[in-house]
């Protein structure tokens, strides 16, 4: 977070008591952030040749002005041959005429230039393919060559977009524009795998019904990474994902009394699903609903994957109903609980919800012996996944939980934090404290998600 970095520098006296301003302090922090991230290895220890940075929003938005200015300065700093600006613009086609309108693109490019950035590539988003005359018009009014104007129209799936961009010569343009020394810029093996993936997406029809029990389901984009990870796993397994969103609070007894229709609808969705995912979140709202969902999955042998808060809900449910600790809870929800199964982390300080979380990519060690999740990862000694949490399973209760059959098969490098949990007696009762969805890719689905999809459609033996 560039703003946070600038604030920390101010506290450390880096600015020598000067007033911290958007320019140059925040814009400098943005540039430093980009340079630092651009040096992080993608594969092994080799540094990447290209770093793609998405600047979201609309040109002219006040929220993005500092970033636009930061990139304007950055462009001058690294020189033209090391900076390429691709501008994505909507080309609407009103149904009344069906004619592609270029005025919005002309206006946005003009405003972008006024802020000091000139697009090297204009990507036109449209409902249908646009003709050469429209491209030439945009080229003429936006001062770019015709080959620098490409159209990405609506396709059967998003996985066809890279193939369409390749057809438009985007790869060759970037290699030439950035003066990249790449002998084979379009590896045939990779593109073949991607074409196969896009074709598979269009031809799979066998559905797999998964229910997502979350806290923020009013805005489904809140779980975009989880939904994409499920989709990656479903495609790799040969199934079409049918994802149902369930508001966790609708599974609680209070909703049954106050809004019985919502309660009934939520439980019908849960019962009819073949697999359930309980993702992360913060706060007490909906936690009892998540715990109820975990209990139903455990007692009905329905495959379930818990992530972050999902793991904590599964542990609390097990403690209440198997260990018979009726008061079991998280200190986040009930600070006075007699049985704190989930506690705040040692580095957490109350009052600073975002600044003291356990963040970033960290190593998780596997316990010796076999486990479903270890096999899904192809039996490594450890894995590196990204974290975003402040609470953990209380180590004092681990022995009691394991004695009743719940197994913690992965922990942190210090062997203090429990990071992977499973219930071997169950078809697929797996949870992770980390967020495996963040590293899921279309051609490399996340193992925990893959396990959930396979368990939802096949027998448990398919996982072994």
CATH number of the domain that 157 lies in?
3.40.50.300
Residue 238's nearest CA partner among 209, 208, 195, 211 is 208
The answer to whether residues 169 and 268 belong to one domain is no
Given a contact cutoff of 8 angstroms between Cβ atoms, the answer to whether 464 and 427 are in contact is no
Quickly state the pLDDT bin for 230 (edges 50, 70, 90). Answer: very high
Question: What pLDDT sits at residue 356?
Answer: 62
The answer to whether residues 387 and 459 belong to one domain is yes
User: Is 121 contained in some domain?
Assistant: yes
Within 13 Å of residue 374, how many CA atoms lie on the same side as its CB? 20
The answer to whether residues 132 and 267 belong to one domain is no
The alpha carbon dihedral of 387, 389, 391, 393 has a sign of negative
Asked if residue 309 has pLDDT above 90, the reply is: yes
The answer to whether residues 49 and 159 belong to one domain is yes
How many other C-beta atoms are found inside a 10 Å radius of the C-beta of residue 37?
11
User: Is 14 contained in some domain?
Assistant: yes
Q: Read off the pLDDT of each residue in 333-350 and give the average, rounded to a whole number.
A: 78
The answer to whether residues 157 and 115 belong to one domain is yes
* Strand ranges (E), 135-293: 149-153, 207-214, 240-247, 275-278
Residue-number span of the structural domain to which 170 is assigned? 2-196
User: Is 21 contained in some domain?
Assistant: yes
Task: Compute the mean pLDDT over every residue in the chain, rounded to the nearest whole number.
Answer: 90
Encode pLDDT of 159-197 as tens digits: 999 999 999 999 889 999 999 888 776 777 888 999 999
Helix (H) or strand (E) holding 429: strand 429-432
What is the C-alpha separation between 417 and 426, in angstroms, rounded? 23
Cut 0.75: pTM above it: yes
| Domain finish residue from 176, 196, 216 | 196
| Domain finish residue from 143, 161, 196 | 196
CATH of the domain at 275: 3.40.50.880
User: Is 321 contained in some domain?
Assistant: yes
Asked if residue 291 has pLDDT above 80, the reply is: yes
What is the C-alpha separation between 416 and 413, in angstroms, rounded? 8
The answer to whether residues 214 and 182 belong to one domain is no
Question: What pLDDT sits at residue 11?
Answer: 65
The answer to whether residues 290 and 230 belong to one domain is yes
The answer to whether residues 153 and 265 belong to one domain is no
The answer to whether residues 134 and 217 belong to one domain is no
The answer to whether residues 259 and 393 belong to one domain is yes
User: Is 142 contained in some domain?
Assistant: yes
User: Is 201 contained in some domain?
Assistant: no
The alpha carbon dihedral of 71, 77, 80, 82 has a sign of negative
Q: Read off the pLDDT of each residue in 39-63 and give the average, rounded to a whole number.
A: 86
Encode pLDDT of 374-403 as tens digits: 999 999 999 988 888 888 999 999 999 999
User: Is 263 contained in some domain?
Assistant: yes
Quickly state the pLDDT bin for 264 (edges 50, 70, 90). Answer: very high
Quickly state the pLDDT bin for 346 (edges 50, 70, 90). Answer: low
Check residues 433 and 359 and name the one with the higher pLDDT.
433
Question: What pLDDT sits at residue 388?
Answer: 81
The answer to whether residues 279 and 178 belong to one domain is no
Residues labelled as active-site residues:
308, 435, 437
User: What is the percentage of the chain residues whose pLDDT exceeds 90?
Assistant: 69
User: Is 184 contained in some domain?
Assistant: yes
Quickly state the pLDDT bin for 258 (edges 50, 70, 90). Answer: very high
| Domain finish residue from 140, 161, 196 | 196
- Specify the number of domains making up the chain: 2
Residues 6+ apart with CB under 8 A from 96: none
What values do phi and psi take at 216, rounded to 5? Answer: -120, 40
Question: What pLDDT sits at residue 211?
Answer: 97
The answer to whether residues 273 and 128 belong to one domain is no
């Amino acid at each position: 977070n560039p703003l946070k970095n600038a604030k920390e520098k101010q506290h450390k006296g880096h600015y020598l008591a000067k007033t911290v301003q958007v320019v140059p302090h925040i814009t400098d922090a943005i540039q430093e952030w980009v340079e630092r991230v651009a040096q992080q290895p993608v594969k092994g220890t080799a540094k990447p040749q290209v770093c793609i940075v998405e600047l979201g929003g609309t040109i002219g938005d006040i929220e993005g002005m500092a970033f636009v200015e930061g990139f304007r300065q950055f462009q001058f700093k690294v020189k033209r041959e090391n900076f390429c600006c691709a501008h994505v613009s909507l080309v609407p086609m009103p149904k009344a005429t069906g004619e592609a309108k270029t005025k919005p693109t002309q206006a946005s490019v003009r405003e972008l230039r006024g802020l000091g950035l000139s697009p090297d590539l204009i990507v036109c988003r449209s409902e249908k393919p646009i003709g050469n005359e429209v491209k030439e018009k945009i080229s003429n009014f936006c001062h770019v060559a015709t080959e620098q104007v490409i159209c990405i129209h609506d396709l059967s799936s998003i996985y066809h977009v890279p193939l369409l961009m390749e057809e438009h010569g985007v790869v060759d343009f970037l290699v030439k524009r950035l003066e990249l020394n790449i002998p084979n810029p379009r590896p045939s093996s990779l593109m073949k795998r991607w074409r196969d993936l896009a074709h598979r997406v269009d031809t799979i029809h066998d559905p797999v019904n998964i229910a997502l029990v979350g806290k923020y389901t009013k805005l489904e984009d809140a779980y975009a990474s989880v939904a994409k990870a499920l989709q990656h796993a479903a495609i790799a397994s040969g199934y079409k994902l049918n994802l149902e969103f369930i508001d966790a609070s609708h599974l609680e007894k209070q909703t049954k009394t106050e809004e019985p229709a919502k309660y009934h609808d939520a439980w019908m969705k849960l019962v009819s699903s073949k697999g359930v995912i309980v993702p992360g979140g913060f706060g007490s709202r909906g936690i009892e609903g998540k715990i109820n969902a975990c209990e139903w999955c455990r007692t009905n042998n329905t495959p379930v994957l818990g992530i972050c808060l999902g793991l904590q809900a599964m542990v609390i449910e097990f403690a209440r109903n198997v260990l018979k600790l009726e008061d079991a809870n998280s200190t986040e929800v009930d600070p006075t609980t007699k049985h704190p199964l989930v506690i705040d982390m040692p580095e957490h300080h109350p009052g600073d919800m975002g600044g003291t979380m356990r963040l970033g990519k960290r190593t998780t060690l596997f316990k010796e012996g076999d486990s479903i999740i270890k096999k899904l990862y192809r039996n490594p000694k450890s894995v590196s996944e990204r974290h975003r949490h402040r609470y953990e399973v209380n180590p004092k209760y681990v022995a009691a939980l394991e004695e009743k059959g719940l197994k913690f098969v992965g922990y942190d490098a210090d062997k203090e934090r429990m990071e992977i949990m499973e219930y071997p007696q169950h078809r697929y009762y797996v949870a992770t404290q980390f967020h495996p969805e963040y590293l899921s890719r279309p051609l490399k689905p996340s193992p925990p998600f893959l396990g959930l999809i396979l368990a939802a459609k096949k027998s448990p033996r398919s996982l072994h």
